[in-house]
Amino acid sequence: MQDEKLSSAAAVAAPSAEAEEPAICARGVCLSFGGGTVAVLSDLDLTVARGEKVALTGPSGSGKTSLLAVVSGLLRPDSGTVRTCSLPVETMNEDELAKMRRDKIGIVFQHFHLMESMTALENVMLPLELAGREDAEEKARESLSSVGMARRVGHFPSQLSGGERQRVAIARAFAPGPELLLADEPTGNLDFDTGKEILDVLFSLAEGGEQTIFFITHNHELLPRFGRVCALRGGRLETR
Amino acid sequence: MSPARFVVRAEMRGKKELFALAAAAMGFATAVLALVLSLADSFERSFADSARELLGGDVSIRLSQRDFSEEEIEWLRANSAGFSQMRAARMLASGKNGARIARLKTADDSYPLFGKATVKGGGDVLAVIGGGAEDGIYPAVVSEGLLAQLSLALGDVFSVGGMTVSAAALIATEPDPDPTLILNDVLVLVHEKHFLAAGIVRPGLLISRYARVQLPPETGEEEWRARLEERFPDGGWRVRGINRALPRLQNIVEDAREFLALAALTAMLIAGVGIGGAMSAFLSSRLRAIAVVKMLGGSARLIRIIYLFMAVFVVGAGALAGVVFGQAALLFAAPKLSEHLPLTLTAIWSWGALGKAMLLAFLISAVFVLPPVMHYARANPLALFSGGARADDLPGLRAGERLLVAGVAAAAVVLVPLEGDDKIFVLGAAAAAGTLFLLSHLAAGLAGKFAKKAPPPFSWGLLAVSRNRRQAAASAMSLGIGLAALAAISNVEGNFNEVVEGALRDEIPAMFMIGVLPNQVEGLREMLSEADAEANMRAVPIVRGRITHLAGKPVSEYDPPQEFAWILRGDRGFTWSENDDFVGENSRIVEGEMWGGDDNGQLLASFDAEAAEAFGLEVGDAVQINILGKPATATVANLRLIQWERFDINFVVVLSRPPFANVPHGYFAAVRGISEQAARRAQREMGERFANVTPIVSGEVVDAAQKMLAKIAALLRAVTLLLLSGAIPVVIAALAESRHRRLRDSVAMRLVGTPASGVTLAALTELACTALVCVLPAVLFGMAGGWFVIGAIFDLPWNARAGEAAALIAQAVAFFLVLGGISVFRIVRSPPYPLLRND
């Protein structure tokens, strides 16, 4: 059931063209809530090249998370076009979007969002199982090992510290080998040192796999590590 | 491993207890339904396998009042491969230690046509009863019941209907028991030739004659009966084939099957509500997990598959265990039941019944599980960005999804193993459950209003009930049906007992007498006056016959409601009176006029008004009756509204004079004013002086009726308790699901400095109030049901019996407190840190 083919719209991008296309390409994106009464994104343009590490900042309520949701296909913009990993997000149906997230995107949250009923290993295996990967356990162990959690594979989230939970969440996001990693303040719930460690882990994994990172953070001390920093104000992006 | 199985395996972890409880509830209901359906199928097979023995032939023909004519017997012999005659009557058996009504049966030398009639210790019944009489004492085979009730031993001499017999042997196997028989009875079996020789057969006695026929080879029953009907169109007999070998027991089995199947289906409904509630609560707690799976690329379809698979696993495990248990119970119960029944009940593996029970378990569960699964499959991973997902944000079901649920419900109703009309009861039970849900929902809402006036921590408990009213209402729906039934049964039984102990014992005649011959009436009156000077006997003539036509139409073409069908079905008593003896306080004319003396020789009839309405009979219509093979036609002169519950002597049909001249008839008598002791003395004396008369002392009948009522109430209570025990796992599951919320609340309370006693009080207040909103509407509902039965249906005085209701409420609340209290004390004792760290 997870092997559904993407629609013709989604399959437009040929491999050769993909390589040239940016990881994220948004044009004239408008998004509002409350039937148009609260404008969140206004005519927003964004391009993130493949392999680029971009940080997104902005005050609370500025629309950072909404932009992440639009890019991942969890929110549909009112207008404008969004291409994520060469796929036309705004024209894809729910199943195609789910498949895109499964195959091409990894997401890391501030609140970890691990499955409490699953061990660390099973949590990391989950996206691989959903993709029908036969090497799910092997890949999951590798991924956990790469975030330093090889000895905690059989532990449940409730038995792990906050930093450890976030490591498992990162391992889960990276295990399927996504082209794009979206991170929504993954260090927001952690102390500075642990947050720095998490970022080290994340960057080391991304560099090895040449993944694109689009990273929301409030922590200005982390910004120097990103190739580009964007700020969201009044629904539009400003690049520093 | 498929993604669905991978997730299911993890999701089932740690939820074993909750799912085991849900499975237990469904398993219990499935077991009862499987047992009931398989038992009914086993009865059907056993009836079919031994139908010829039970009936005594391929066809049984019964006549009342008259003997078979020579011509009829000749035809029956000529048109059969085997032929046997017997007689049966209810007669007073009296010995030195008392008197009891016995079943007297005769057998001829061909008895039995099928099967074997044997006595205990070995030997054939005919060998015992066929022997000669000694000093006017005839040999009889008797049942153990007779020896016990008359305190007799084998060899003792006693009298039955004026015939002196000796208890020569005990019956071991009687292949053709009384067709009206349910359980073993008081039997006296004598030879036909002795019965005739004893000279006790007189006109007016209620004796049934049976002719049993073995059909000739290659002859079908329908064809043979058609030939009989063609040859003797006015035979006036009742013919039964092998499909109605034991009609009374077959009817009881059918009624019991319907009733118990209804109870099992209600239990299934309760379990379905429970499983649906448990699944809803479980999914609510898994909302974030669902969103995570969807965020990682799982589709809504995958989510539905995951949780429906879990439901199928839980329901399947319960239902499978249920059918296994149900079948095992059948295998165990069948031999035990056979000991008390007139046939050998063979347990069969009825795959159809077991399959139907399982399928219904799945369908009914699906009705309650599909909505939450489809609802929660909509969880939006977007919510994960803001910390989690909330059920309130999810949209309702789509039209197509509602249609699917309705379709599954319709399939379940189609499959329900009840007769057409009885299916309405299932819908009624569902409507009652829905009403209880709404009432409890409202009551829980009211608790919130009281919270503002109550001091903490009581107010916290009340608020918790109000905010979780859906959970309380779901528990009420599960428990409510059983509790309402329990309250209704207690109310009806209590009110009936009040009526029996009060008005009934005072109003009912002290004694009835059946089979009084015309020349015995005055002698009896005299004897009763000697027994008690206040005795006042009323005797009316009675002749037995049957109604053949109403308004010119054969009664076979009528299909009246069940409560009036008996009037047309077979023989019944007719009486006559030239004046208005049958008109009075308890029987008044509502249409037409009472006859005077100027009927110009026309035979007139007064008909029961309610029965006439059921048959569409009006004043001026003709009623044709057949008495002793002779037809007589009467014109309906009036309709009487009869209060049968007053127990006065009355008849559906009262004629203006005897149906024809010199009709052989007896008398039916009722005695008032006589004390119960005097009635019992008179009963014993009748055994000696009027042996053919069957006296019935009302006090004994009322006692028996009260015992019967108590037994029925006990049976209904047992069924209701089964329903309630099915609801208990549902309530436990609901309490278990709310445990996490209570734990969170208690941690929050303790963090702000509430002492343990305060936390306990708040939780206990919540439990007690939850119990009240579950129990109170149900008990009130049950009391209303009691009023409906007593006041509306039976038109008897109704008492609310508030004390009983209050006791039931107190017991139910105590039950809740015990079940939930254990959890409360655990919560109070659990350390808050793990929750604070992980939640």
The ipTM value here is 0.77
Compute the distance between CA of residue B98 and CA of residue B81 in angstroms, rounded to an integer: 44
B-chain residues near A172 (CB < 8 A) = 296
Residue B687 has what pLDDT?
74
**B833–A contact, CB cutoff 8 A:** no
Angle (CA) B791 B710 B493, round 5°: 20
Residue A127 has what pLDDT?
87
Nearest to B512 by CA among B687, B681, B694: B694
A-chain residues near B382 (CB < 8 A) = 69, 74-75
Question: What is each CA distance from B762 to A18, B772, B786, in whole angstroms?
Answer: 62, 15, 36
Contact (Cβ atoms closer than 8 angstroms) between residue A201 and residue A167:
yes
Q: Do residue B292 and residue A125 have CB atoms under 8 angstroms apart?
A: no
Q: Do residue A115 and residue B834 have CB atoms under 8 angstroms apart?
A: no
A48-78, pLDDT tens digit by residue?
998 888 999 988 888 888 898 899 888 888 9
Local structure of B232: helix, strand or coil:
coil
Residue B489 has what pLDDT?
84
B-chain residues near A111 (CB < 8 A) = 384, 387-388
Compute the distance between CA of residue B648 and CA of residue B705 in angstroms, rounded to an integer: 17
If one compares B524 and A116, the residue with the highest pLDDT of the two is B524
What residue of A is the nearest CA neighbor of B4? Answer: A130
Residue A153, judged by CB atoms within 10 A of its CB (0-12, 13-18, 19+), counts as buried
Q: What is the DSSP string of A69-132?
A: HHHTTSS--SEEEEEETTEEGGG--HHHHHHHHHHHEEEEETT----TTS-HHHHHHHHHHHTT
Min Cα–Cα distance to chain B from A235, Å: 18
- Residues of chain B where predicted confidence (pLDDT) is lower than 70: 1, 14-18, 65, 179-184, 203-205, 385-393, 420-422, 456-457, 503, 597-599, 629, 645-646, 726, 729-730, 733-734, 736-738, 740, 748, 751-753, 831-839
For residue A87, what pLDDT band results from cuts at 50, 70 and 90?
very high
Closest Cβ–Cβ partner in B300, B382, B384 for A113:
B384
Residue A240 has what pLDDT?
66
Q: Do residue A68 and residue B6 have CB atoms under 8 angstroms apart?
A: no
Angle (CA) B341 B343 B349, round 5°: 105
A-chain residues near B300 (CB < 8 A) = 94
Q: Do residue A113 and residue B382 have CB atoms under 8 angstroms apart?
A: no
B34-69, pLDDT tens digit by residue?
998 999 899 888 888 888 888 888 999 988 767 888
Compute the distance between CA of residue B674 and CA of residue B359 in angstroms, rounded to an integer: 61
Residue A38 has what pLDDT?
83
B549 - beta bridge partners? Answer: B554, B624
Q: Do residue A2 and residue B297 have CB atoms under 8 angstroms apart?
A: yes
Contact (Cβ atoms closer than 8 angstroms) between residue B231 and residue B75:
yes
Q: Do residue A69 and residue B3 have CB atoms under 8 angstroms apart?
A: no
Min Cα–Cα distance to chain A from B300, Å: 8
A-chain residues near B294 (CB < 8 A) = 98
**B291–A contact, CB cutoff 8 A:** yes
Residues of A with CB under 8 A from a CB of B: 1-2, 65, 68-69, 74-75, 94-95, 98-103, 107, 109-111, 113-118, 122, 125-127, 129-132, 157-158, 172, 184
**B258–A contact, CB cutoff 8 A:** no
Compute the distance between CA of residue B174 and CA of residue B128 in angstroms, rounded to an integer: 14
Q: Do residue B295 and residue A118 have CB atoms under 8 angstroms apart?
A: no
Residue A187 has what pLDDT?
79
Closest Cβ–Cβ partner in B297, B385, B838 for A68:
B385
Q: Do residue A172 and residue B296 have CB atoms under 8 angstroms apart?
A: yes
Contact (Cβ atoms closer than 8 angstroms) between residue B54 and residue B176:
yes
Min Cα–Cα distance to chain A from B305, Å: 11
Min Cα–Cα distance to chain A from B823, Å: 22
Closest Cβ–Cβ partner in B288, B297, B382 for A130:
B297
A-chain residues near B387 (CB < 8 A) = 110-111
Domain A51-73+99-239 top-level CATH class: alpha beta
Q: Do residue A126 and residue B305 have CB atoms under 8 angstroms apart?
A: no
Q: Do residue B382 and residue A74 have CB atoms under 8 angstroms apart?
A: yes
Ramachandran quadrant class, B107 (left: phi over 0; alpha: psi -120 to 50; beta: rest): beta
Quick one: DSSP state of residue B137?
B
A20-42, pLDDT tens digit by residue?
689 999 999 999 887 778 888 98
Residue B338, judged by CB atoms within 10 A of its CB (0-12, 13-18, 19+), counts as middle
A-chain residues near B1 (CB < 8 A) = 129
Chain B (297-326) residues lying within 8 Å, Cβ to Cβ, of chain A: 297-302, 305
What residue of A is the nearest CA neighbor of B296? Answer: A102
Closest Cβ–Cβ partner in A98, A111, A117 for B298:
A98
Q: Do residue A2 and residue B299 have CB atoms under 8 angstroms apart?
A: yes
Min Cα–Cα distance to chain B from A207, Å: 22
What residue of B is the nearest CA neighbor of A183? Answer: B385
Residue B834 has what pLDDT?
57
Give the domain ranges of chain B. Answer: 1-50+247-419, 59-244, 432-509+704-839, 536-672
Compute the distance between CA of residue B156 and CA of residue B147 in angstroms, rounded to an integer: 9
Q: What is the mean pLDDT of residues A151-157?
A: 90
If one compares A213 and A196, the residue with the highest pLDDT of the two is A213
Closest Cβ–Cβ partner in A74, A118, A130 for B381:
A74
Nearest to B313 by CA among B35, B34, B31, B22: B22
Give the domain ranges of chain A. Answer: 51-73+99-239
pLDDT at A203 over 90: no
Compute the distance between CA of residue B86 and CA of residue B177 in angstroms, rounded to an integer: 12
Min Cα–Cα distance to chain A from B295, Å: 7
| Cβ pairs bridging A and B (under 8 Å) | 90
Q: Which of A5, A68, A74 to mutate to test the interface with B (most CBs of B within 10 A)?
A: A74
Chain B (346-385) residues lying within 8 Å, Cβ to Cβ, of chain A: 380-382, 384-385
Q: What is the mean pLDDT of residues A143-151?
A: 88
A-chain residues near B11 (CB < 8 A) = 117
